[in-house]
Structure formats: structure tokens, C-alpha cells
Structure 1
Amino acid sequence: MKRFLTALLTLVAIGLATPASAYWEFGHETVAQIAYRNIKPDTRHAVDALLAKSKLLETEACPARTIEQASVWADCIKTLGPRFSYAYNWHYQNVNICKPFDLKSACKDGNCVSAQIERDVKLLKDKTVPVRERVQALAFLIHFVGDLHQPLHAGDRGDLGGNQVIAAYGDYAPPKLNLHSVWDGYLAERAITTPPSPVRVYSAAEKAEMQAGSVEDWSRESYQVAHDVAYASALGGDACAPVPPRAMIDQATIARIVPAARLEVERGGLRLARLLDEALG
């Protein structure tokens, strides 16, 4: 009986935890799906061929057989203990939005998301690199481009990407909800599910506009979105104002910033497509 109750409580805990994690997975999967729809046929074949060998990663609990699975693999492996702990800092770059853009300081020794994106592209281009390492580079790349386009992974105020900013999302204001979670999940879900679907084949003109620039340019742009939209909308229009006990993001503000959140997802997908074409096409 005791064993049954323990199992039941575990299932309940998993069920309660699922919605919060699923939102973030939804964002990464959507970025990956946009990229997959917009890469060249030869690139798609190369992506599929590498992911078909994802068992080489030896992460059975964290599969990467499809591009959707690969998009969340880098988060999943955090649960595997110290094996991949070296990659923890690769998911973000803490560039202070209240100071001039300074990527160099935030990326010391390459321990930041933009530096790892560039590294992964180089590894994928080099066919002398062992297959296992190229598969891992592909999974990391798919995830990290998504990370870079979540603004609070690219800029913050020394508050762990907004994790220390307690927030209210419309009428939803549980005690521990923070600004990072709003952008990771709830806002991302609303932006992605607002018609029309962002998962489509984009025109040449749309691709030319959104795919332009370098990884550093994209970093600066995402940092600016963190300043102009993520923090400013939560702090009454002044991104560098003192943080209140709870940042209030009302329904009118949510409706106003949804297009910016959606654009970041689209940019991430199309830029991932460009990098995959460059590395594997």
C-alpha cells in the first residue's frame, strides 16, 4: 500500500509539473519546426541522417531522433547529473541591458550561448570531426539558437535573466512566477498559438530580412528586445527602473508585446535554417 501511494504521488507531481515545462518545450520545438520547413532539401537530408545516429550520444532518457526532440535535448541532459554540467553556462549570456552592449565580457572563454552557436557551426562543417561530436553539435545548435532568441537569455539586469523579478502575468500571479518564466512559457505559448501559425515556408524577402547579420548582430538585437520590451513592459516603461515587489504585466500589455515575442520565435527559426544550410547544405 505504501508503495502504491508513493507511485501515485509521483504521478500527480509529474502531472502538475508538466504544463510549466511543456510551454518552454513548445517554444524550442516551434523554432526547430520553422527551421526544418525552410532549409534546403539537401540540408534536411543531412539533418535527418545525423539525427538518425543520435543513439551515439548515449542519452537514452533524452532522445534526439527528430528535430523536435533535438530542440530540447540540451535542456533534458541537465537532469543527467554532472555528465553535462560543463554546458550549463552555454544557454545564455548575461549582458547588462542598463549598460552599453558588451558581448566580450559576457562571453569570457566562450562560455555563452552565442560563442557556442558559432562553435557548433564550425564542428558541423568539419566532416573530419567524429560523427558523435557532430550529432551533439547539431543538437546543441538547434537548442541554442532558440535560447539566443528568448530575450532574457541574451540580456538582463544581474538578476539571472529575470528569474529574480517576481511577476504577474495578467490575472495569473502565483508566489514564485517570475519574468523569465513569463517569456519562457506563457507569453511564448500565446505568441506561437496566435494565428496564423509561424510554422510555414517563408518568402525569399522574409528570409532575406530576418536571416541577415551575424550571430553577434542577433545577440545585440535580442539584448535590445530584452531592454525595450521584456523589462520595459514589466517596469512601467523604464527598463532600468527600480524593481517593485511584483512586476505587473496586465492584459493590455500582454496583447501589445505578443507580436515582439512571436517575431523572436520566427527570427530564431529562420536564422537556425540559415546556419544549418551553411553548415550542412
Structure 2
Amino acid sequence: MSADPTSFGGRLVLAATPMGDIGDASQRLRDALGSAEVVAAEDTRRTRSLAKALDIEITGRVVSFYDHVEQARIPMLLEEIRLGRTVLLVTDAGMPSVSDPGYRMVAACVDAGLPITCLPGPSAVTTALALSGLPVERFAFDGFAPRKSGQRKEWLRTLTSEARAVVFFEAPHRLADCLADAVEVLGPDRRAAVCRELTKTYEEVVRGTLAEVAAWAVEGARGEITVVLEGAQPVSAEPADLVGQVEALIESGLRLKDACAEVSAATGASRRELYDAVLAARSGG
């Protein structure tokens, strides 16, 4: 039987924490919270509350490790590891480094040649993918959607021909606008799933076309949101039938050449024939 990596000193331990249901805390997380010499926490109060809920006493030193202090804390934490101590890194919920603090600390340990291990566990990304009801054998994770509509539409245009499912986070007060932009850029019929408050008391998953979930979101949504978009489905079509899609992309800011390239990638139609079809339609031919 191999030894538990958390039993060794002198290493960074990344640990996934429950997203809502305390029962999702692994035994390895419980052991690490009680034994690590240093606990680096995104929110020290929430980490202490987690330990209390698990009936665990944190005996090590607890230090804050959130976005604005992350870079400043790294040298001190590296020194703790060099001295043979275990540094446990936890965020408020889910896996460190996945849209949460942790990446820079991991990179620093890699550069310094210091040991790193991970205690796997809850993740909103994989939970949402599993619940989406969409084909997710291949997927891409895009973090948080851009806040401003112009940048968001530009990002959505990059997904026009993305064959993989795409999962991303969104703030509840921006969800309706984000989905409305998605309908405009990706079309009303692309399927999606909006996952709200995963593993919590009011967990909800809304599935349907983009038009359907966008209509639902107009009423407002609360809590933490994870969205899964279906991958693009290439279809064969006559270039003349696709002129409207090209013109819509041009209206959103793309050049004719680039718009033809995107629609070509998404549908399999010839880029050259699309270009000619647009010019013909404009001239009334």
C-alpha cells in the first residue's frame, strides 16, 4: 500500500472543498485540515467555519491567500515548504487554481522544484458537465464570461464553430444579458444548460435551447451559476442559404472575409462560395 502523500512534510497540498453540501468533504481533506502546519485560505473565516462544521481543530497557522495578496504570500509559503512543512491551500469552494487562487503558487513551486500534490474533490465544472444532459466527451472550460457586452460577443463568436462543449461561470446579475448575447451570436437553437447553486439546498438545472434558457433567465437568477453550451454541429448547406448568418456576423463587427471564414468552419460550406454568395445577394443577383 502506498503512503498517503499528505503524511509527508515539505510540500504544497491543493485541496478541493465542498461547493455547498458539507458531506462532500473527503476524509483526506479532513485529515489535512487537522494536520497541516500552514493552511493558506482564500477566506480564513470560511475555512475556520468549514473546519468547525467538520468537527476538526486546525492546529496549524492559518494565513489568508486571496487574489490581492497571493503574490506577496508566495515567498513566505515557499520558505515554509523548504523548511519541511506542509502547506495546505484551500479556496472557498471547489478546486484551487480553477478560477480561484492557486495557479501562481503551483507555478512557483514548480519553478523552485518543490513537491506538490492534490486532494481531488468537488468541482463545479465537472458537476455541471455531468448534469447538463449534453454530449460532453470533449469540452473546454472558459472561466468567467467577459463582463462587457462587446467583449462578450467577441468571445462568443470564437465559439461559433467550437465542436466541444463549453462550460463557463457567470454572475447571476449578468446571466440574462449573457444568454441574450449568446442567442444573437450563436443562434436560438443551440442547446445549453444553466446550473444554479450546485450541491446546495436550492440546486436547479435549466436545460433547453439558448432561446429557452435566455427567456427563463429574464426573470432573474440567484446564487452561483455555471453554464454549459452544446458544441457546434457542422451541417452542410447551400452558400445562398447562409448569407444571413454571414451578414449577422458582419453587423456585429467582423469583416466580410472573417465572417465567411467563421460560417464556413461552422457549416462546412466553401469559404469562397460564401463570399461570392454574399456579393451576389448584395447586388441583387
Higher helix share: 1
TM-score by length of 2: 0.24
Say which structure, 1 or 2, has more relative contact order (CA 8 Å, 6+ apart): 1
Higher strand share: 2
